[in-house]
Structure 1
Amino acid sequence: MEEKKHSGLGIASFITSIVSGLLIFLLIGVAGVMEASTPGGIDEESAGAVIVGLFLFAFLGAALVALGLGIAGLLQKERKKLFAILGTVFSAVSLVVTIFIMIIGSAMG
Protein backbone atom coordinates (compact mmCIF):
# COMPACT_ATOMS: atom_id res chain seq x y z
CA MET A 1 0.00 0.00 0.00
CA GLU A 2 1.36 3.40 -1.00
CA GLU A 3 1.72 5.97 1.75
CA LYS A 4 -0.46 9.09 1.40
CA LYS A 5 1.31 12.33 0.48
CA HIS A 6 0.68 15.61 2.23
CA SER A 7 -1.81 17.89 0.54
CA GLY A 8 -0.11 20.62 -1.48
CA LEU A 9 -3.03 22.91 -0.76
CA GLY A 10 -2.69 22.11 2.94
CA ILE A 11 1.02 22.95 2.94
CA ALA A 12 0.31 26.22 1.11
CA SER A 13 -2.43 27.01 3.61
CA PHE A 14 -0.15 26.28 6.56
CA ILE A 15 2.68 28.48 5.28
CA THR A 16 0.36 31.31 4.24
CA SER A 17 -1.50 31.25 7.54
CA ILE A 18 1.71 31.38 9.59
CA VAL A 19 3.20 34.22 7.54
CA SER A 20 0.00 36.27 7.38
CA GLY A 21 -0.72 35.74 11.09
CA LEU A 22 2.76 36.88 12.10
CA LEU A 23 2.58 39.90 9.81
CA ILE A 24 -0.88 40.87 11.09
CA PHE A 25 0.22 40.83 14.71
CA LEU A 26 3.47 42.63 13.88
CA LEU A 27 1.43 45.29 12.10
CA ILE A 28 -0.96 45.63 15.05
CA GLY A 29 2.10 46.15 17.25
CA VAL A 30 3.43 48.81 14.89
CA ALA A 31 0.04 50.55 14.94
CA GLY A 32 0.02 50.45 18.75
CA VAL A 33 3.49 51.98 18.93
CA MET A 34 2.48 54.66 16.42
CA GLU A 35 -0.63 55.45 18.49
CA ALA A 36 1.26 55.56 21.80
CA SER A 37 4.18 57.63 20.50
CA THR A 38 2.05 60.31 18.85
CA PRO A 39 0.78 63.08 21.15
CA GLY A 40 -3.01 63.03 21.08
CA GLY A 41 -3.04 59.78 19.08
CA ILE A 42 -2.31 59.13 15.47
CA ASP A 43 -4.12 61.08 12.77
CA GLU A 44 -6.23 58.49 10.97
CA GLU A 45 -5.75 60.29 7.66
CA SER A 46 -1.95 60.45 7.87
CA ALA A 47 0.10 58.54 5.33
CA GLY A 48 1.44 56.18 7.99
CA ALA A 49 -2.02 55.27 9.25
CA VAL A 50 -3.32 54.70 5.73
CA ILE A 51 -0.36 52.47 4.85
CA VAL A 52 -0.79 50.43 8.04
CA GLY A 53 -4.50 50.05 7.27
CA LEU A 54 -3.87 48.94 3.71
CA PHE A 55 -1.29 46.40 4.80
CA LEU A 56 -3.64 45.12 7.48
CA PHE A 57 -6.37 44.46 4.91
CA ALA A 58 -3.84 42.85 2.55
CA PHE A 59 -2.67 40.49 5.31
CA LEU A 60 -6.27 39.74 6.30
CA GLY A 61 -6.88 38.87 2.64
CA ALA A 62 -3.91 36.51 2.76
CA ALA A 63 -5.36 34.88 5.89
CA LEU A 64 -8.66 34.42 4.04
CA VAL A 65 -6.80 32.81 1.15
CA ALA A 66 -5.05 30.52 3.64
CA LEU A 67 -8.43 29.58 5.10
CA GLY A 68 -9.75 28.73 1.64
CA LEU A 69 -6.66 26.70 0.80
CA GLY A 70 -6.97 24.83 4.09
CA ILE A 71 -10.60 23.96 3.47
CA ALA A 72 -9.74 22.85 -0.06
CA GLY A 73 -6.92 20.71 1.35
CA LEU A 74 -9.32 19.10 3.79
CA LEU A 75 -11.56 18.09 0.91
CA GLN A 76 -8.80 16.33 -1.04
CA LYS A 77 -9.07 12.58 -1.03
CA GLU A 78 -6.09 10.26 -0.56
CA ARG A 79 -3.99 13.01 1.04
CA LYS A 80 -2.73 13.59 4.56
CA LYS A 81 -4.73 16.33 6.27
CA LEU A 82 -2.28 17.56 8.94
CA PHE A 83 -1.14 20.75 7.21
CA ALA A 84 -4.64 21.49 5.92
CA ILE A 85 -6.00 21.27 9.47
CA LEU A 86 -3.20 23.42 10.89
CA GLY A 87 -3.53 26.02 8.12
CA THR A 88 -7.29 26.21 8.56
CA VAL A 89 -7.05 26.56 12.34
CA PHE A 90 -4.21 29.11 12.31
CA SER A 91 -5.85 31.30 9.67
CA ALA A 92 -9.25 31.15 11.37
CA VAL A 93 -7.71 32.09 14.73
CA SER A 94 -5.76 34.95 13.12
CA LEU A 95 -8.92 36.29 11.48
CA VAL A 96 -11.09 36.00 14.59
CA VAL A 97 -8.51 37.54 16.94
CA THR A 98 -7.73 40.38 14.52
CA ILE A 99 -11.41 41.21 14.01
CA PHE A 100 -11.91 41.08 17.80
CA ILE A 101 -8.98 43.49 18.30
CA MET A 102 -10.41 45.82 15.63
CA ILE A 103 -13.83 45.80 17.32
CA ILE A 104 -12.27 46.60 20.70
CA GLY A 105 -10.19 49.36 19.12
CA SER A 106 -13.18 50.97 17.44
CA ALA A 107 -15.23 50.76 20.66
CA MET A 108 -12.46 52.52 22.60
CA GLY A 109 -11.95 55.29 20.06
Structure 2
Amino acid sequence: MLALGRRPHPELPPIEYLEVATGPIVIERMDARELDLAILDGESAPTGGLGLAKQLKDEIADCPPIVVLTGRPDDVWLANWSRAEAAVSHPLDPIRLTDAVLGVLRNRSAA
Protein backbone atom coordinates (compact mmCIF):
# COMPACT_ATOMS: atom_id res chain seq x y z
CA MET A 1 0.00 0.00 0.00
CA LEU A 2 2.89 2.31 0.72
CA ALA A 3 4.53 1.53 -2.63
CA LEU A 4 1.38 2.37 -4.57
CA GLY A 5 -0.03 5.18 -2.46
CA ARG A 6 -3.54 6.59 -2.40
CA ARG A 7 -3.38 8.50 -5.69
CA PRO A 8 -1.03 6.83 -8.20
CA HIS A 9 -2.33 8.89 -11.14
CA PRO A 10 -4.08 12.26 -11.29
CA GLU A 11 -6.74 10.97 -13.70
CA LEU A 12 -7.83 8.21 -11.30
CA PRO A 13 -9.86 8.62 -8.14
CA PRO A 14 -8.07 7.90 -4.87
CA ILE A 15 -7.57 4.22 -4.15
CA GLU A 16 -9.43 2.65 -1.27
CA TYR A 17 -7.69 -0.39 0.15
CA LEU A 18 -9.19 -3.47 1.74
CA GLU A 19 -6.58 -5.65 3.39
CA VAL A 20 -7.58 -9.22 4.15
CA ALA A 21 -5.60 -12.05 5.71
CA THR A 22 -7.04 -15.29 4.33
CA GLY A 23 -7.81 -16.88 0.98
CA PRO A 24 -11.47 -17.55 1.83
CA ILE A 25 -12.07 -13.86 2.55
CA VAL A 26 -10.45 -12.87 -0.77
CA ILE A 27 -12.75 -15.33 -2.57
CA GLU A 28 -15.77 -14.00 -0.70
CA ARG A 29 -14.98 -10.35 -1.56
CA MET A 30 -14.17 -11.09 -5.19
CA ASP A 31 -17.28 -13.23 -5.59
CA ALA A 32 -19.40 -10.41 -4.13
CA ARG A 33 -17.92 -8.00 -6.71
CA GLU A 34 -16.68 -5.70 -3.95
CA LEU A 35 -13.26 -5.14 -5.55
CA ASP A 36 -12.11 -3.50 -8.77
CA LEU A 37 -8.61 -4.97 -8.53
CA ALA A 38 -6.83 -7.52 -6.34
CA ILE A 39 -3.15 -7.44 -5.49
CA LEU A 40 -2.21 -10.86 -4.15
CA ASP A 41 0.99 -11.92 -2.41
CA GLY A 42 2.34 -14.92 -4.26
CA GLU A 43 4.46 -15.86 -1.25
CA SER A 44 1.68 -15.85 1.37
CA ALA A 45 0.92 -18.96 3.39
CA PRO A 46 -0.98 -21.17 3.73
CA THR A 47 -2.81 -20.02 0.59
CA GLY A 48 -0.42 -18.54 -1.95
CA GLY A 49 -1.55 -15.67 -4.10
CA LEU A 50 -0.58 -17.42 -7.34
CA GLY A 51 -2.79 -20.44 -6.68
CA LEU A 52 -5.53 -18.17 -5.40
CA ALA A 53 -5.36 -16.05 -8.56
CA LYS A 54 -5.73 -19.20 -10.68
CA GLN A 55 -8.72 -20.34 -8.62
CA LEU A 56 -10.41 -16.93 -8.89
CA LYS A 57 -9.89 -16.78 -12.66
CA ASP A 58 -11.20 -20.33 -13.06
CA GLU A 59 -14.26 -19.90 -10.84
CA ILE A 60 -15.49 -16.30 -11.17
CA ALA A 61 -17.02 -15.17 -14.43
CA ASP A 62 -15.69 -11.72 -15.39
CA CYS A 63 -13.23 -11.83 -12.50
CA PRO A 64 -11.75 -8.44 -11.59
CA PRO A 65 -8.12 -8.00 -12.64
CA ILE A 66 -5.36 -9.42 -10.47
CA VAL A 67 -1.78 -8.32 -9.90
CA VAL A 68 0.44 -10.87 -8.16
CA LEU A 69 3.56 -10.12 -6.17
CA THR A 70 6.17 -12.78 -6.81
CA GLY A 71 9.22 -13.76 -4.82
CA ARG A 72 11.64 -13.31 -7.71
CA PRO A 73 11.63 -12.22 -11.37
CA ASP A 74 12.03 -15.86 -12.52
CA ASP A 75 8.54 -16.61 -11.18
CA VAL A 76 6.86 -14.76 -14.05
CA TRP A 77 5.92 -18.12 -15.58
CA LEU A 78 3.88 -18.87 -12.44
CA ALA A 79 2.12 -15.53 -12.79
CA ASN A 80 1.27 -16.42 -16.39
CA TRP A 81 -0.04 -19.81 -15.24
CA SER A 82 -2.20 -18.11 -12.61
CA ARG A 83 -3.81 -15.95 -15.34
CA ALA A 84 -3.05 -12.77 -13.40
CA GLU A 85 -3.06 -9.68 -15.57
CA ALA A 86 0.30 -8.49 -14.19
CA ALA A 87 3.13 -9.53 -11.89
CA VAL A 88 5.69 -7.55 -9.93
CA SER A 89 8.60 -9.23 -8.16
CA HIS A 90 10.21 -8.53 -4.81
CA PRO A 91 11.85 -6.32 -3.79
CA LEU A 92 8.91 -4.11 -4.68
CA ASP A 93 9.76 -1.09 -6.76
CA PRO A 94 7.05 1.58 -6.37
CA ILE A 95 7.40 2.67 -10.01
CA ARG A 96 7.08 -0.88 -11.39
CA LEU A 97 4.11 -1.61 -9.12
CA THR A 98 2.37 1.64 -10.11
CA ASP A 99 2.98 0.96 -13.81
CA ALA A 100 1.54 -2.56 -13.47
CA VAL A 101 -1.55 -1.40 -11.59
CA LEU A 102 -2.21 1.53 -13.94
CA GLY A 103 -1.79 -0.74 -16.96
CA VAL A 104 -4.27 -3.24 -15.57
CA LEU A 105 -6.79 -0.54 -14.67
CA ARG A 106 -6.46 1.11 -18.09
CA ASN A 107 -7.00 -2.21 -19.85
CA ARG A 108 -10.04 -2.89 -17.66
CA SER A 109 -11.65 0.47 -18.46
CA ALA A 110 -10.89 0.12 -22.19
CA ALA A 111 -12.63 -3.26 -22.35
Q: Which TM-score band applies after superposition, normalised by the shorter structure?
A: under 0.3
Which structure has the larger Rg?
Answer: 1
TM-score (norm. length: structure 2): 0.26
Please report the TM-score for the alignment, with normalisation by the length of structure 1.
0.27
Q: Which has the higher strand share?
A: 2
Higher relative contact order (CA 8 A, sep 6+): 1
